[in-house]
Chain A
């Protein structure tokens, strides 16, 4: 029953994304409209894929670092991506894909650094250090970014920060295809880790005794979640709250079994972001709000409600 509802919600969110928008497209012309096919449809699908990826990455990371407040962007990836993008602009790199590729490489560099830090205690990946390292690397990257912006040609770079705030404006069938081809691999890796993630909630020692290869699982989950997040940032900037709040909402209905939690987080995250993007495009038309702002505006009250339930349950 609940799966049906979630599927319906997802479909409704997608349909609204395609039907609604600042440009008035009459219902009769929807199927023929250039705007719908070349702009709204890819944008809706990209929102769904990115939102879904962030939801799953968030759920997996919360289990990995054993912290319900974990968000995919706590790992320093957004700082790395921002630095990559700003460097691309400062160096006047051309090409329509220069920004996303630079952001992706920046995110990977941050991922590598944080991973190395996480291994600091030896061969075992320490999730607490992953968290702390992520925050530190993110802050470091942000500082360098600010320095570059203040030293170089200011106008263009200030606009780059708007990009970082999260935008699906760059959505096209190209980016949808790219994400659709890329995301399934880390998504499958995370799904395959569903049971070990359940066990990890008991603690690493207990998980080992219940048959989980804890080291392998930690590595795989961290890398897969980070790769998903890096792609999301590269394609749509930093969109907060989806990865943090969606897993908690999903847990309220589906519980903690990751086998059902992860797919629910995917569908829920996708629906949420598609819906938020529709709002971003329509509430102040013809102007547009950064979608990261809308997800925060929706996410914070939802989060507050969840906190209340947590203290009761």
Chain B
């Protein structure tokens, strides 16, 4: 009698629903474009039933219903999709949203995705959760290789500064994955000594450090508006029109296509490297 009671207690205690799912999630809501891409990349795309409005890759994702901009996540919209797993980016408002979702019985997972190193673990976690460990592992290995110390990596051949905003000037520093992209592509971020992911700097610092390239996240083919401003023309790269216009979808966040992004960037830099003055390829303008 006592043994049965003990067994029953253990059963109840041991089987808390949020701890040990017995069923693989089949209705996943992804609240970050990179996670949407990862889920598709490991083969779980058909299980995604909700995405943010920013999730635009792969094209198949566009047919999935949107649950809003995700900033912050709309709890009701997410719940309306009746998910059994919600994947969120691990940052402030999302932590609160995750708690709220858990409170109504929806399972959530918060993943870090700030730098290239986070891609592998994120892929592996998603693989584990969806039961697609093998596919996830191969993807994770490819992601890991992006940041593995490459002994054959040649020294950087060009210098770059990432400008996020012009007034006041905000640059990308060492803490950001864009900085990592640049390093992998063979360019040195002139603001690599700034440890923060982004920081406000004086325009004269940019002029003094004289990067060969000014990189901006832009989907357009024309140089950014600040290129016309008089004070920005003190920067040599602005005067000479050496802009790297990086489409947001590919370069804006770490994701399965980060390797592709690095490749593109490397090719661009090598093609239009120091000395090449007459090139007029895609996304570069010269004046």
Contact = CB atoms under 8 A, between A and B. Distances in A.
Interface stretch (B33-41, B161-169, B276-284): B161-169
A156 to B, nearest CB: 8
A38 B236 CA distance: 13
Interface string A283-311: 00111111000000000000000000000
A99 B71 contact: no
Interface string A36-61: 00111010000000000000000000
A286 B191 contact: yes
A19 to B, nearest CB: 12
A159 B164 CA distance: 9
B109 interface: no
A163 interface: yes
A289 B208 CA distance: 18
Contact of B169 (A25, A35, A169, A285): A169
B167 A99 contact: yes
A39 B207 contact: yes
Contact of A40 (B170, B199, B204): B204
Interface string B196-219: 100111111101110000000000
Contacts of B191: 286
B202 A21 contact: yes
Interface in B149-164: 164
A54 B60 CA distance: 56
Interface in B131-181: 164-165, 167-170
B64 to A, nearest CB: 21
Contacts of B209: 23, 286
Interface in B41-73: 69, 71
B168 A169 contact: yes
A167 interface: yes
Nearest to A156: B165
B20 interface: no
A163 B169 CA distance: 10
Given A96-B225, A172-B231, A287-B199, A159 B204 contact: no
Contacts of A286: 191, 193-194, 199, 201-202, 205, 209
Contact of B200 (A40, A99, A162, A172): A162
Nearest to B228: A96
A274 to B, nearest CB: 15
A169 B203 contact: yes
A96 B207 CA distance: 19
Contacts of B207: 23, 34-35, 39
Interface in A96-123: 96, 98-99
A140 interface: no
Interface string A79-104: 00000000000000011101100000
B218 to A, nearest CB: 11
B230 interface: yes
Contact of B234 (A35, A159, A163, A289): A35
Nearest to A160: B165
Given A22-B202, A23-B208, A285-B205, A38 B231 contact: yes
A170 B204 contact: no
A267 B154 CA distance: 55
Contacts of B4: none
B287 interface: no
A24 interface: yes
B234 A288 contact: no
B7 interface: no
Contact of A96 (B71, B193, B205, B229): B229
Contacts of B202: 21-23, 169, 281, 285-286, 288
B201 A172 contact: no
B226 A96 contact: yes
A42 B167 contact: no
A11 interface: no
A167 B203 contact: no
B205 A170 contact: no
Contact of B208 (A24, A156, A171): A24
A39 B203 contact: yes
A8 interface: no
Nearest to A152: B69
A42 B208 contact: no
A180 interface: no
B168 A288 contact: yes
B194 to A, nearest CB: 6
Interface in A55-86: none
Contacts of B230: 38, 172-174
A168 B33 CA distance: 36
Contacts of A290: 168, 200
A162 B170 CA distance: 10
Contacts of B196: 287
Interface string B229-257: 11101100000000000000000000000
Given A286-B201, A287-B199, A39 B231 contact: yes
A306 to B, nearest CB: 30
B167 A169 contact: yes
Interface in A142-175: 154, 156, 159, 162-163, 167, 169-174
5 contacts: A22-B204, A34-B207, A154-B69, A173-B230, A288-B202
Interface of B: 69, 71, 164-165, 167-170, 191, 193-194, 196, 199-205, 207-209, 225-226, 228-231, 233-234
Q: What 7 A-B pairs are tightest by C-beta distance, nearest first?
A: A23-B208, A172-B231, A172-B230, A159-B165, A167-B168, A169-B168, A96-B229
